[in-house]
Amino acid sequence: MDLKDKLISSFMAFENNVDVEHPVHDVRMEAIKNFEEKGFPTKKEEAWKYTSLNSLQKVDFSIFPKEENALEYKDVKKYFLHEIDTYKIVFIDGIYSSYLSETTHDGVDICLMSAALSKPMYQQVIDVYFNKVASKDESLTTLNTAFSREGAYIYIPKNKMPKKPIEILHFATGNEASLMLQPRNLVVVEENAEVQIIERHQSLTTNEVLTNSVTEIFAAENGIVDYYKIQNDASTASLIDNTYINQKRKSVVKIHTFSFGGKLTRNNLNFYQNGEYIDSTMKGVTILGDKQHVDHHTLVHHIEPNCESHQDYKGIYGENSTGVFNGKIIVDKIAQKTNAFQQNNNILVSDKATINTKPQLEIFADDVKCSHGCTIGQLDEEALFYLQTRGIPKKEARALLMYAFANNVLATVRIPELKTRINKLIANKLGVNLGFDL
């Protein structure tokens, strides 16, 4: 039985553990039909031309964890942003860990999707927002929708801001020989509200793990969302991350993606600007080695006038790693005065590393400022020589140049302790001590 057939047959078992009378279950039923019809994407599809899921489909993944596996905080402390106080929503093998979590209902709701999908007090928000911006057509998103039950539920009411940032952490323990996880997150930020979120998927095992995640983000008028994705997983972990953002007038949403680890990572990041004077920002740093593969697919749909979008992705590829960047900007006919910027810069530090990059602009308005560009190159030999003449060893000089190349993306990280943590991750990934205080 291949993975598609196993998932479809497992849906009946899934139904035994959810309320099939809940309106959301009709959404699930429609979603599983879509997945059954389309199956997993293939390289024949333009959007998946450079990324194959064939090897993952041959793995006999467990669809549901057999039992809860507890973790001690001391064993996973390093994966938390423990330098500051945060709210925490923690899952172990897909199961919520109350022991490691810190949630709240004090003026805001920071809790679980399972609670939101089962308790009447959340029904109004679910009716308005659940599965409203996520694709009804993309097969892996519909697969997640079909099995949607658990994940993070974050609701920030009008004029509110949580007292501290929110961490969403997903741990895989290796309790199963191979495990598939499908978390579903919903983030709603109402008018004049603000939130900071840090998300991380972390395998603690050498066993195979596949995560198919969907996050829906809604930012109302003047809402502010600051979202950070830390992807530094084990070499046997694969992640398909689907994020959909619906913005209203004068809202600001910034998403930073830091991809350093994992076997295969696919990031689908989709912004829809439904109002004027909206600001959307996507920034990313990718540093790969070995046979790692990371594929960034971004979409910004400018639907209304007087909006901005900014994309800046940097990639450093070594050994036999492979990178993909496909950035698409659509400017509708009425979206005049749009200012859209997109840039993708890459460094290949190995003759065997590859990068496939494809910026796309579809502009139907005539009074806009839109630019896109990409570069693929190697380290500047003159700059490398200059640093060596100043007594810096070649290895450290190369690392310093690569750090400088990626550093401007870090400039917009608004949580100082997180910026320090990412600096350290970059230094570790480059394999040297950069020689300054991190």
Q: How far is 429 from 262, CA to CA, in rounded Å? A: 12
Q: How far is 343 from 281, CA to CA, in rounded Å? A: 12
The answer to whether residues 159 and 16 belong to one domain is yes
Q: Which domain holds residue 417?
A: 379-437
Give the pLDDT score at 436. Answer: 46
pTM: 0.96
Confidence of residue 380 (pLDDT cuts 50, 70, 90): confident
Give the pLDDT score at 435. Answer: 54
Give the pLDDT score at 437. Answer: 41
Domain assignment present for residue 308? The answer is no
Residues 97, 71 contacting (CB under 8 angstroms): yes
Q: How far is 246 from 219, CA to CA, in rounded Å? A: 6
The answer to whether residues 253 and 392 belong to one domain is no
Domain assignment present for residue 103? The answer is yes
The answer to whether residues 250 and 399 belong to one domain is no
275, 300, 317: which is the final residue of a domain? 275
Q: Does residue 264 sit in helix, strand or coil?
A: strand
Average pLDDT over all residues of the chain? 94
Q: How far is 256 from 269, CA to CA, in rounded Å? A: 11
The answer to whether residues 254 and 384 belong to one domain is no
Q: Which of 181-185, 309-313, 404-408 is predicted with the least confidence, judged by mean pLDDT?
A: 404-408
Residues 219, 70 contacting (CB under 8 angstroms): no
Domain assignment present for residue 346? The answer is no
Residues 6+ apart with CB under 8 A from 302: 273, 309, 329, 330, 331, 332, 335, 338, 340
Confidence of residue 434 (pLDDT cuts 50, 70, 90): low
232, 248, 275: which is the final residue of a domain? 275
Q: Tens digits of per-residue pLDDT, 195-210?
A: 999 999 999 999 999 9
Q: Tens digits of per-residue pLDDT, 296-348?
A: 999 999 999 999 999 999 999 999 999 999 999 999 999 999 999 999 999 99
How many domains are contained in the chain? 2
Domain assignment present for residue 300? The answer is no
Q: How far is 18 from 35, CA to CA, in rounded Å? A: 19
Q: Tens digits of per-residue pLDDT, 32-72?
A: 999 999 999 999 999 999 999 999 999 999 999 877 788 99
Q: Please state, in angstroms and as integers, the Cα–Cα distance from residue 394 to each residue in 27, 163, 283, 386, 429, following that order.
A: 57, 45, 29, 10, 17
The answer to whether residues 47 and 196 belong to one domain is yes
Domain assignment present for residue 304? The answer is no
**231-241 mean pLDDT:** 97
Nearest to 333 by CA among 363, 308, 370: 363
**123-139 mean pLDDT:** 97
Domain assignment present for residue 293? The answer is no
Domain assignment present for residue 216? The answer is yes
Domain assignment present for residue 335? The answer is no
- Is residue 438's pLDDT more than 50? no
217, 246, 275: which is the final residue of a domain? 275
Task: Give the angle subtended at the CA of 139 by the CAs of 136 and 142, to the nearest 5°.
Answer: 50
